[in-house]
Chain A
């Protein structure tokens, strides 16, 4: 029967107003500032001020000078997301279907490590992957790594750090999706002669797609923009785009270039997300 309809009237606006004003002022308006800044004359400075001269050339400069960090960031982000998906799926599946009465405990354990500061965790990886650390020693012993080979200051370390740091963003949406699947559906597929593996790909996986899509997005987007892992675990001559933007803003004070880079990064992410979501066939999620 009819539920109570949502109340109409001005009260709704009043309740919403502060939050919307805050977001409008400090999230939406800044985007216009960013767009405007990206078109300023590069010769300006903090002291002399900047001039708006619709310098679309900034974008050309940015792409020419920084295409490598851009590509590197997207690549790191994509690889880390893929690994997160594999690890996260196993973990989420185990919690949802195999953990039984330990379900809640395992969920808590998934989140628990991430209450420790992001930076401290990443520093910890620096120690774990360090040149005379346990992992490097083992890898050298089994000759997967040369005697003078190292992990720190390599892309491997950066991707490992990204994977680690963004894993919960993958696990939680995956869990939410997998946990909702009616176990009888999987039994039914078995009853209808599907081998468990076939059953997984024909039933479980498609039904968990919403979680897969939101999990990959929640992992990929911050991973691409992140530069802490690259800065602490990577090599200084393999910079990622986040770090370039940051240093253009804070060290070089070249605001137009930094802003243009941000815009390009945002645009690339939006395009990739749209293509991905369309291919995954889950537009309705957005």
Chain B
């Protein structure tokens, strides 16, 4: 290749390919958004676009099972997030700020759930519940236990990296400026680690909300949103599922863009 065009192409080839991959990741999302406006033809298993309607958006709970599953997922998600974020944050502080025998063993223990396949985690938890005689009591609480378990590691890792990246002379400076240990924690440490904790909480919620494999094994007769979708996929999917999918996408984009704009605003003020 030669000439300006050739050079331009060579310069931007990788970027073009990268953008192409990016576009590919958005194709299914486009379909989800499109299908959220789809007028279904009866409740058939054929999943295709029949015509435009706003019905799905106006009546997202037309299928009562969908909304009750959604409710379960939100409740599990919120509870699992609170518990996992609390326990995980404490553990992250212990691992970064404290020294004790068994610290590296604990680090390994934290790492393992992230590396184990979900089907194995789910089935071993089920094996425990069954052998402990809880086979009949599977439901909301066993789902919650499972979700906290697999969210925990992600919380620890997220908060830990934020903590480790924090300059500890800031805390020394606070102490030097007459702040007691408690004041130092509340006024310096916590505000600085907070973005990490918030990020960990968001991650926990989305992990919990999205989980199918572990949940499916330990849910008994309780149905979460992903389980509802999975079940519906066999029978015929109510189009409202796509409304939920679109909403999830939009909400998360708004959160991310808002925080990004916030960062931009701060860094622009720099000059």
| A associates with B | yes
Q: Which residues of chain A have a CB within 8 Å of any CB of chain B?
A: 3-9, 11-16, 18-20, 22-24, 26-31, 33-34, 36-37, 46, 50, 87-88, 90-91, 93-95, 97-99, 104-106, 108-121, 123-128, 130, 132, 164, 167, 217, 221-222, 224-228, 231-232, 241-242, 245-246, 249-250, 255, 258-259, 262, 265-266, 269
Smallest CB–CB gap between A45 and chain B, Å?
11
Other-chain contact of B88, A6, A19, A113, A258 (Cβ < 8 Å): A19
Q: Are A221 and B249 in contact (CB under 8 A)?
A: no
Q: Which residue of B lies closest to A12 (CB)?
A: B98
5 smallest CB-CB distances across A and B, nearest first, come from A94-B18, A12-B98, A225-B117, A115-B252, A19-B91
Q: Are B22 and A109 in contact (CB under 8 A)?
A: yes
Residues 87-137 of B at the A interface (beta carbon under 8 Å) = 87-88, 90-91, 93-100, 103, 106, 109-110, 112-113, 115-121, 123-128, 130-132, 135
Q: Are A15 and B93 in contact (CB under 8 A)?
A: yes
Residues of A within 8 A of B59 (CB): none
Residues of B within 8 Å of A, CB-based: how many? 89
Q: Which residues of chain B have a CB within 8 Å of any CB of chain A?
A: 12, 14-15, 17-19, 21-22, 24-29, 31-32, 35, 47-48, 87-88, 90-91, 93-100, 103, 106, 109-110, 112-113, 115-121, 123-128, 130-132, 135, 145-146, 148-149, 152-153, 156, 168, 172, 206, 209-210, 212-213, 216-217, 225-226, 229-230, 233, 237, 241-242, 244-246, 248-249, 251-253, 256-257, 260
Residues of B within 8 A of A94 (CB): 14-15, 17-19
What CA separation (Å) do A258 and B127 show in the bound complex? 9
Q: Are A16 and B95 in contact (CB under 8 A)?
A: yes
14 A-B residue pairs with Cβ-Cβ distance under 8 Å, sorted by A, are A12-B99, A16-B98, A27-B112, A34-B124, A36-B127, A90-B17, A119-B229, A120-B32, A121-B32, A123-B233, A123-B237, A124-B29, A167-B21, A258-B123
Q: Are A115 and B248 in contact (CB under 8 A)?
A: yes
Smallest CB–CB gap between B208 and chain A, Å?
12
Given A4-B168, A245-B123 in contact, is the A269-B117 Cβ separation under 8 Å? yes
Other-chain contact of A217, B115, B125, B244, B253 (Cβ < 8 Å): B115
Q: Are B213 and A130 in contact (CB under 8 A)?
A: no
Taking chain B's interface residues, is the majority helix, strand, or loop, or is none over half, making it mixed? helix
Q: Which residue of B lies closest to A115 (CB)?
A: B252
Residues of B within 8 A of A245 (CB): 119, 123
Smallest CB–CB gap between A9 and chain B, Å?
7
Other-chain contact of A31, B21, B88, B124, B246 (Cβ < 8 Å): B124
Q: Which residue of A lies closest to B28 (CB)?
A: A124
What CA separation (Å) do A125 and B48 show in the bound complex? 12
- Besides A123-B237, A124-B31, 19 more A-B contacts (Cβ < 8 Å) are A8-B99, A16-B91, A16-B100, A18-B91, A24-B109, A27-B113, A46-B130, A87-B24, A90-B18, A115-B252, A116-B248, A120-B32, A128-B31, A130-B47, A130-B48, A226-B213, A249-B217, A262-B123, A262-B124
A-B contact count (CB 8 A): 274
Taking chain A's interface residues, is the majority helix, strand, or loop, or is none over half, making it mixed? helix
What CA separation (Å) do A277 and B28 show in the bound complex? 33
Q: Are B28 and A113 in contact (CB under 8 A)?
A: yes
Other-chain contact of B245, A36, A116, A224, A228 (Cβ < 8 Å): A116
Given A8-B100, A123-B233, A262-B123 in contact, is the A113-B249 Cβ separation under 8 Å? yes
Residues of B within 8 A of A88 (CB): 21
B94, B109, B213 interface centre (most CB from chain A within 10 Å): B94
Smallest CB–CB gap between A224 and chain B, Å?
6
Residues of A within 8 A of B27 (CB): 128
Q: Are A228 and B26 in contact (CB under 8 A)?
A: no
A22, A36, A119, A130 interface centre (most CB from chain B within 10 Å): A119
Residues of B within 8 A of A16 (CB): 90-91, 94-95, 98, 100, 106
Residues of B within 8 A of A217 (CB): 115
Q: Which residue of A lies closest to B156 (CB)?
A: A19
Q: Are B98 and A15 in contact (CB under 8 A)?
A: yes
